Structure 1
Amino acid sequence: KNAGATYQRMMNKVFQGEIGDMLEVYMDDMIIKSHEETDHADHLRRVFELARKCKMRFNPEKCTFGVRADKFLGFYLTELGIEVNPNKCKAFVELPTP
C-alpha cells in the first residue's frame, strides 16, 4: 500500500543533492539533464556513482542516452523546457464552442 511512497522517499534520499539541478526522479523514471553538453558525462558519472554506492542497478534495455527531446511522464522535454503533450490535450482542444 505504501510501497510507492516508500520507494520515492528512498530515491529522493539517495539523489537528494542532484534532484532539481541535474536530475529529475519519479519512482523508477529518471532523467539526467545538463545545460552544457560538456557537463553531461560528469552528471551521468555522478548519478551512476550514487546508484552504485546504494547497490542500485539500471536495466540497459530501458536506458537511452544523448536524447535532446523526449516524452517523460506524459510531457515533452526539450532544450526549450517542458511542453504539453498535444495528445493529452486533444479532447480539450476539440471541444465544441458552447
Structure 2
Amino acid sequence: MGKIFIDNGSSVIVLFKSTLDQMKMEGFEFEPISTPLYGFEGHAIPPLGQIVLPLSLGTDPRRVTKMIAFTVVDNPSTYNGILGQPALKDFRVVASTYHHKLKFLVGKGVGVLCGNQKVARRCYERILKEGKKRGREHSHGSLSSVLQL
C-alpha cells in the first residue's frame, strides 16, 4: 500500500473505502462505529465502520506486522490511509519530518521507512488543486509526511 499520511496529531487510523475496494477484499463485515470523524474538511464524516487488518512496516529482515483496527471512511482523498497516534504507538514509531523517515523497533534492531518526496509533492499539489476547485483550503497534507508502505 502506498501514499500513507503519517499524522501524529490524529487519534484514529483511517483506511479510505476506495483503498479497501482496490484491495479487492470480500466477505468481511465492518464493526459499527457511531462517532463521526472531524477534520478532513471541517465537517463531520460518518465512518462506515471498523475493520481489523494486518499492517506491516519495513522489509525483511527488519519488518514488523501487527493487527490494526482501521476506521473506514468513504471520503475522497489523495492518500490510501492515515496512520494516527494509536498505530504509531503500537509500532513504537519515532518520526522525523526533517529526515522524511520513520524508525521503529524490530526485535533487537531498528527498522526504517523512508518517505518518497516525489509522491508527497504530488499528493500535496493534488490537495491544493482539489481544494481550489471546491473553493476551500486544503485540510491535511504535508510534503514530509507521506510514506510508501
TM-score of Structure 1 vs Structure 2, range by shorter chain:
under 0.3
Length-normalised TM-score, structure 2: 0.21
Larger strand proportion of the pair: 2
Length-normalised TM-score, structure 1: 0.28
Find the structure with the greater CA-based Rg: 1
Greater RCO, 1 or 2 (C-alpha within 8 Å, sep 6+)? 2
